[in-house]
Amino acid sequence: MNNTRFGSASPGSWSLSSIPGCEVVKIGESREKRTLYGMVCGKGPLHVSLTAGAHADEPVGPRAALRLAEEIVSEQTERGRWFASSCTFRIVPHTNPDGDAHNSSWQTNPPDFLDWLRGARREPPGEDVEFNYPGSKDDRALRPENSCTASFLAQSAQPYDLHYSMHSMGVAEGAWFLICREWAEMARKTGLCKRLADIGEASGLGLHDIERNGEKGFSRIDRGVSTTPRSDAMRSHFLERNDPGMAAKFRPSSMEYVQALGGNPLCLVSEVPMFVIRKRLPAAEGEVPAFEEVRRRLPSVREAALAGNDKPALELRQEFQIEPVSWEAHSELQIEFLRLCVEAVLNVKASQATPRWQVLPRWEVDPYGGSGEGE
């Protein structure tokens, strides 16, 4: 399979003014002075926020976000017309353009396993753009990317009905769909979980069906579906391991930040693998033993590849039948995840069902543990 460059430039340097019908604004600059853009498109009743590219070594989300925007404004597909009439989007297609630039050496479509092992770079906790949002309206995020993204998202005239943070996994046994715990019961009862499992299977990737028992906020809801991570659970995880320094590095995520803007948004995180593990080992429900073994061996395999020894990586790839996922297939699954969840929110609103949880006004809840008034 021949690898080709996916686009002529990184998303951080793309000219977004070429998408007619979409309001595009410069919202700020990264640490290294790359431009961050915000986009407003669609004319529907649901208010949807979307961020992508938070993690430096996950390059597909920004491409999927731009593909979605182009579908919405062109209205050339049935899905694009439906999104345009159903939702008003506020999109930050790339929240970490510096990280994308630092990973440009291996960004081919499809990705190459050895290039990825040698070239993937990711910021450590404390520099993680996903977990670096303000904890209250007077709080200042640690990174300029978070400050300008937060300011842009807060300009919505209405609380959001849905927030989507587009992510990827390096290797996994299939697609993993994450939904905030406040909507987990709805996802089970309305069949959303089954529909998500169906699109994961139909994509040919299968599902990454893992039970993490609440670790860092991840709890299995159904087959291939778990709850989103939370900053309080991240902090608790490290405090239980007597590491208060690491715990302090986790500020609110984009999901928690949007929840703090009010309402009761359905919050989503996509975790689609760049490399799928085809080999399956005997497993009980919620277990992914092939993934666990690959993850255990990856550090030494990466170390060998960096030292010029490719043999362990080639053996691992062959043994576990690790295959790259094209960025087109990856993006399509991310957008279909969003479509099914928008449908679910529309159905809940149409039924006029009263959620069992309280819908809080803007800034009454503070995900960082204060009062929401800047304490």
Looking at residue 67, its pLDDT comes to 94
Q: Which tokens go with 356?
A: 């069992």
Q: Which residues contact 324 (CB under 8 A, 6 or more apart)?
A: 1, 110, 111, 112, 113, 274, 275
Express each pLDDT in 85-129 by its tens digit.
Answer: 999 999 999 999 999 999 999 999 999 999 999 999 999 999 999
Structural domains for the chain = 16-287+324-351 (3.40.630.10)
The HSE-up count of residue 241 (CA atoms within 13 Å, CB side) is 12
Beta bridge partners of 270: 166, 177
Helix (H), strand (E) at residue 232: helix 231-239
Looking at residue 18, its pLDDT comes to 54
338: helix, coil or strand?
A: helix
Beta bridge partners of 56: none
DSSP state of 182: G
Looking at residue 50, its pLDDT comes to 98
Per-chain mean pLDDT for the chain: 89
What's the average model confidence in pLDDT over 157-169? 96
Whole-model pTM: value is: 0.89
Cα 195 to Cα 340: distance, rounded to the nearest angstrom: 8
Three-point CA angle 178, 122, 130, nearest 5°: 40
Strand ranges in the chain using DSSP code E only, listed in sequence order:
4-5, 23-29, 35-41, 46-52, 87-92, 108-109, 162-172, 176-179, 220-222, 225-227, 266-277, 322-324
Q: Look at residue 354 and tell me whether its pLDDT is greater than 60.
A: no
Looking at residue 16, its pLDDT comes to 53
What's the average model confidence in pLDDT over 17-39? 88
Cα 234 to Cα 230: distance, rounded to the nearest angstrom: 6
Q: Which tokens go with 181?
A: 């715990």
Nearest to 68 by CA among 44, 55, 46, 84: 84
Q: Look at residue 355 and tell me whether its pLDDT is greater than 80.
A: no
Cα 330 to Cα 30: distance, rounded to the nearest angstrom: 26
Nearest to 66 by CA among 134, 13, 132: 13
Percentage of the chain lying above the pLDDT 90 cut: 83
Strand ranges in 190-312 using DSSP code E only, listed in sequence order:
220-222, 225-227, 266-277
pLDDT band at 373 (very low <50, low <70, confident <90, very high): very low
Looking at residue 353, its pLDDT comes to 53
What's the average model confidence in pLDDT over 138-142? 74
pLDDT band at 142 (very low <50, low <70, confident <90, very high): confident
Q: Look at residue 276 and tell me whether its pLDDT is greater than 60.
A: yes
